[in-house]
Structure 1
Amino acid sequence: MIKIYAPASIGNINVGFDVLGVAIAPKNGSLLGDIVTIKPDNHFHVNNIGKFSFQLPKNIKNNIVWKCWNNYCKIIGKKILVSITLEKNMPIGSGLGSSACSVVSTLVAINKFCNKPLNSQQLLHIMGKIEGEISGDPHYDNVAPCYYGGLQLIINENNLISQPIPFFKKWIWIVAWPGIKISTSIARSILPSQYDKKICIKHSRLLSGFVHASHTNQESLAINLMKDIIAEPYRMKLIPNFLQIKKKILKLGAINFGISGSGPTIFVICNKQKNAIIISEWLSKNYLKNKYGFVHICNLDTIGTREIGE
């Protein structure tokens, strides 16, 4: 039996639409992500468990685990007879890379079960393809950090999909999911099909400057450049009172604030633990809509997807 855990991730982090993503790990040691268990069987079988398993489709061929298994079998040219249990701990449509968690954990588990015939780049390519089938457009800003951990810059050139870049270790990351969902495909569809040249130039300046600041350890410069001029101006309308919440969080001591992926999860960056606690308490009281919502104070997950014990 093989048991694989894949962590949640924050795509875009304001300044890097579709090209930056970070894996996150709650500071309290809890696992924020999906877990896949695989073992040999006489036929292929999928079992769904976990807090958010009720969100999964009833038709097995619409299940993300089946999509991963089917794609993998086609690539290696044979059917793999296994029983796969998906422990769905990540809410679908949360903006925390829920589909990436399931895709990455499933493919890593299957590949390990088969004695790793595919290398990491081949696996990552399949992950991006399947992620694209779900969201409507192939992208790696969740699957790459989920798989490798840390802060990943998406290259996707000459078979090089992503590379890690340095991150500021004293940053404390907070994620708050209100308990409602936003479809990734819908959140992408409200974005303009074309952007003004001035916006494109400014975005290039912000992104390249952030990557430079990360490599040269210029924290204040990195924070000042973490602005979302591509998605936030359009997606903020999907999050009620977004600007008021942003203003309040920054007043409480955050150094950055933004929409995690497609939303509705928001992320906050602090450099002081006391501020992180105050902000997380405020979000718990004012941002969560139901019993399913959550707030986590996190560090970056530097390990990425890994095998875990019983």
Structure 2
Amino acid sequence: MTVKTTKAFAPASIGNVSLGFDLLGAALHPIDGTTLGDWVSVSDADEFSLSVDGQFADRLPPGTENNIVTKCYAYFQSSLSSSGHAPLKVKMHLHKTLPIGSGLGSSASSIVAAFHAMNEHAGKPFSENTLLVMMGELEGQISGSVHYDNVAPSYIGGLVLMTGEDSPIAAKLPCFENWYWLVCYSGISVSTAEARRLLPKQYTLSDTLDFGRQLSVFVHSLYAKNEVLAAKMMTDVIAEQHRKVLLPRFDDAREACMRSNALAFGISGSGPTVFAVARELEDAKNMQAWLEKEYIQNDDGFSHICKLDIEGAILIS
């Protein structure tokens, strides 16, 4: 009997994109063809099991029961049951290529790949928006709160705005195709939950007005195709000043990238990965050279010059 297997890939992502705390996210595709993201396979089986490999597999919590993919499977099974669908009898495999606590949507990539593969394998019982709700719930178990700024871009691709709890939860925004998105992971780990605890419980009226104005003007600038105004809005008034203490040489990295004509510079998600936006490839390469020499802390670190990944999660053979 032929065993059916479904395999899905989900790309890395930038959460927040500086100006859009919990509301903006961007999926990444390295221009050199490097695979930056996790994949999950689902195969017919009499009972559930999970195997794991990949560069960062040994950094995951020990025990199959503690793996986020196992939790995705349990949640998916429960959702199938409550909606009157037959249970999914499968085994799963996670190929882990994204570092944990990197600020590149590592947990989101695994979650998205798992749910996308299971939904396809089961004959698509759930809609895109329903899957996003599931993905957000599982992401919240790791980060301490439900947010979609990594799972949504990783799933639907591109630059994504979170629109609310109702359908649709997220919507793609237009962006500038000529922009290069440079990401650099320093090699250390930052807990998303811990990084959230660093943030104030309340913000000043001035900061909240700046946040709303920047996000509104940024979205307008994308539709108006105004690169200069869009880039001007890409500063973080919510999290960066509180979180940058976790990132050695963050201010030096910003200064170096701005000297190389960066349109914007910021923390990817909770960090320690930083990102810079450039209009010219040569500028992006100059920034990359400095970051690789001065920002990366150990052998785990890396950098990639990317474009936006417009496809998001895909099925692979």
Amino acid at match of 2:98: M
How far apart in 1 are the matches of 2:238 and 2:146? 18
Residue correspondences, number:
309
Matched, 1:220 2:224: no
The SS at the match of 2:163 is strand
Which letter maps to 2:207? I
1:92-115 Cα offsets, whole Å, 9 max, x none, are 100000010000000011111111
Instruction: Choose 242-251 or 9-18, whichever is displaced more.
Output: 242-251
Residue pair 1:44, 1:80 contacting (<8 A) in 2 also: no
Please show how residues 132-171 of structure 1 align to structure 2 within 5 Å: 132-171=140-179
Give 1:160-309 correspondences, 5 Å limit: 160-309=168-317
Give me the whole-angstrom Cα distance separating, in 1, the residues matched to 2:188 and 2:87: 37
Kindly provide the CA deviation profile for residues 68-105 of structure 1, in whole angstroms up to 9, marking residues without a partner as x: 00000011115422111100000110000001000000
- SS state at 2:164 partner: strand
Contiguous gaps of at least 5 residues in structure 1: none
Alignment of 1:22-41 (within 5 A): 22-41=26-45
Q: Secondary structure at the match of 1:170?
A: coil
State the distance in 2 between where 1:53 and 1:41 align.
Answer: 23
Contact 1:45 1:84 in 2 (8 A): yes
1:46 matched to 2:50: yes
Aligned partner of residue 163 in structure 1, secondary structure = strand
Distance 2:140 2:278 in 1: 32
Q: Which amino acid aligns with 1:103?
A: I
For 2:239 and 2:73, the matched residues in 1 are separated by 33
Aligned-residue offset at 1:59: 2.1
Structure 2 contact 263–278 (Cα < 8 Å) conserved: yes
CA distance in structure 1 between the aligned counterparts of 2:89 and 2:34, rounded to whole angstroms: 32
Structure 2 CA distance, aligned partners of 1:172 and 1:158? Answer: 32
Distance 2:44 2:280 in 1: 48
Paired position in structure 2 for 1:128 = 136
Query: Contact (CA 8 Å) 2:249, 2:295: kept in 1 or not?
Result: no
CA distance in 1, matches of 2:305, 2:80: 41
Q: CA separation in 1, counterparts of 2:165 and 2:60?
A: 34
TM-score, with structure 1 as normaliser? 0.98
* 1:63-74 pair list within 5 angstroms: 63-74=67-78
d(CA) in 1 for partners of 2:203 and 2:139?
A: 25
Question: Cα RMSD between the aligned structures?
Answer: 0.9
Deviates more, 1:69-78 or 1:299-308: 69-78
2:96 maps to 88
The residue type equivalent to 2:103 in the other structure is: G
2:118, 2:273 → 1: CA distance?
30
Q: Aligned-pair distance for 1:159?
A: 2.6
Identity %: 43
